């Protein structure tokens, strides 16, 4: 769609608004850990965490569902390789957001320790 202009300036394409709803067949979360959310755009782990941290009151249900799915997937990956799995930076951001869920879990503590050792932080080096 183009805006009609009464002046001699060229027409500028006008972007279509985002869809207002999803059909039952729309996939909220793709296999790459991203989701397209109405009014928010494409969600990634980091963007969803940023939204969650900056939301006062109740979190948007779609963002909440996305993050719940993300932490479930991440925790499953950690448990599949409990002694060796190294969280990515974005996975760690989600994991850290939900860290209280895993309080006292040796598997969670080891995953956090492996993450920090893998980052090469001076305080983690021996």
Place of tokens 């060229």: 10
Tokens of 126: 């021996």
Cα distance between residue 110 and residue 94, in whole Å: 16
In the chain, which ranges are E strands?
A: 35-37, 41-43
Reference 118, options 82, 84, 71, 74; nearest CA is 84
The average pLDDT across 42-68 equals: 93
Average pLDDT over residues 33-54: 79
* Percent of the chain residues past pLDDT 90, beyond the cut: 59
What is the arithmetic mean of pLDDT over 89-107? 95
Say which residue the tokens 């939204």 belong to.
51
Burial of 70 (0-12, 13-18, 19+ CB in 10 A): buried
Beta bridge partners of 36: 42
What pLDDT, on the 0 to 100 scale, is given for residue 10?
A: 37
Q: What tokens appear for 31 in the block?
A: 């296999």
pTM over 0.75: no
């Amino acid at each position: 769609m183009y805006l009609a202009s009464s002046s001699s300036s060229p027409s500028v394409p006008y972007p279509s608004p985002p869809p207002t709803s999803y059909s039952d067949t729309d996939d909220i979360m793709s296999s790459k850990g991203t989701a397209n959310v109405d009014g928010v755009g494409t969600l990634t782990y980091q963007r969803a965490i940023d939204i969650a941290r900056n939301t006062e009151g109740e979190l948007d249900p779609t963002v909440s569902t996305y993050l719940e799915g993300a932490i479930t997937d991440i925790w499953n990956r950690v448990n599949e390789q409990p002694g060796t799995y190294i969280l990515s930076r974005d996975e760690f951001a989600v994991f850290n957001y939900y860290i209280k869920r895993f309080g006292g879990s040796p598997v969670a503590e080891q995953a956090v320790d492996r993450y920090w050792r893998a980052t090469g932080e001076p305080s983690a080096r021996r």
